[in-house]
Amino acid sequence: MAETILVTGATGTLGSEVVRQLSNSTDVNIKAAARSVEKIKNLESDKVKAVSMDYNKPENLKEALKNVDKLFLLTPDVPTAHELASNLVNEAKKAGVKYIVKQSVMGADEDADVGTMRLHRRAEKIIEESGIPYTFLRPNEFMQNFINFHGHSIKNNNVFYIPAQEAKVSIVDVRDIAAVAVKALTDINGNVIHKNKAHLITGPEAISYYQAADILTTETGKKIDYVSISDEDARGGMKEMGMNDWLINTILELYNYYRKGYASYVSSAVEEVTGRKPITFAKFAKDYAETFR
């Protein structure tokens, strides 16, 4: 009988990609969950059912988890992320969920200097203490952030601004993160590789944002520049975008982490789990070139 997998955060960059790749797997039924069902109706198919889910409503969580075998857990970037995860994990345990794959973050640690890293580790510990078998995915920065956060300025002004100086980061394509997630969720022989393990997921190399700009220039055919700005200028820009202070502070903490060189580590997880090498930034830039033109 086909297993049922609940994918939370299904409207997001990673969640929607997990749903897409899971749809190509055999013998799985997918519940794609988001606060608003209308936003994910486009994901529905013979295999995918859109469901409404509110982390703060136990009855709603209970309904979303009904007949679910495995859970892909992705929480929003908010100060209460670990509490939201706790609500879902508690209901998952009651519902008899057999496995949780949690979207975490590189550097997850309760003593980390970056707020989201501390929150993700707290959520990981909640899962560990639940007794439900798990896999933690700890990816580095997404390549797709160049689209989500810098796409407008690249397309319209041929430039992007980040307070990272010459930091090198082993940025990773979301398609690779999703591929690892799908393997962890569906690999019947994956206990040794996945069960109660954490996968540190990176791209194939650490590159600077200057190098990223050069690669984008080559693949789009137009000159694209990277400008390293101050934290103060970055804060002002994010405020203009409507970001709240907590999120702004978290992002600035992350860029400080990058500047210290902590995000340059390159792992072999993608190749070990999927059997193929991770997507390069050049491949990403080529695939999404029209987005930046």
Q: What is the pLDDT of residue 28?
A: 92
Percent of the chain residues past pLDDT 90, beyond the cut: 89
The amino acid at 85: A
Per the CB < 8 A criterion, the answer to whether 249 and 115 are in contact is: yes
**Helix-helix angle 115-130:245-259, to 10 degrees:** 100
Q: What is the pLDDT of residue 43?
A: 80
Per the CB < 8 A criterion, the answer to whether 51 and 67 are in contact is: no
- Could you report the per-residue pLDDT of 2-51, keeping only the tens digit for each? 899 999 999 999 999 999 999 987 789 999 998 877 777 778 888 999 99
Assess whether pLDDT exceeds 70 at residue 255: yes
Any idea what DSSP says for residue 279?
P
Per the CB < 8 A criterion, the answer to whether 19 and 48 are in contact is: yes
Q: What is the pLDDT of residue 189?
A: 59
Q: Which residues does 196 contact at the CB level (< 8 Å), separation at least 6?
A: 128, 133, 134, 135
Give me the domains of the chain, ranges plus CATH numbers.
Answer: 3-132 (3.40.50.720), 145-169+203-264+280-292 (3.90.25.10)
Q: What is the pLDDT of residue 23?
A: 93
Q: What is the pTM of this model?
A: 0.95
Q: What is the pLDDT of residue 109?
A: 97
Assess whether pLDDT exceeds 80 at residue 245: yes
* Mean pLDDT value of segment 131-157: 97
Mean pLDDT of the chain: 94
Rounded distance between C-alpha atoms, residue 77 and residue 80, angstroms: 8
Assess whether pLDDT exceeds 80 at residue 1: no
Structure tokens at 198: 């954490």
- Could you report the per-residue pLDDT of 178-195, keeping only the tens digit for each? 999 999 999 865 566 899
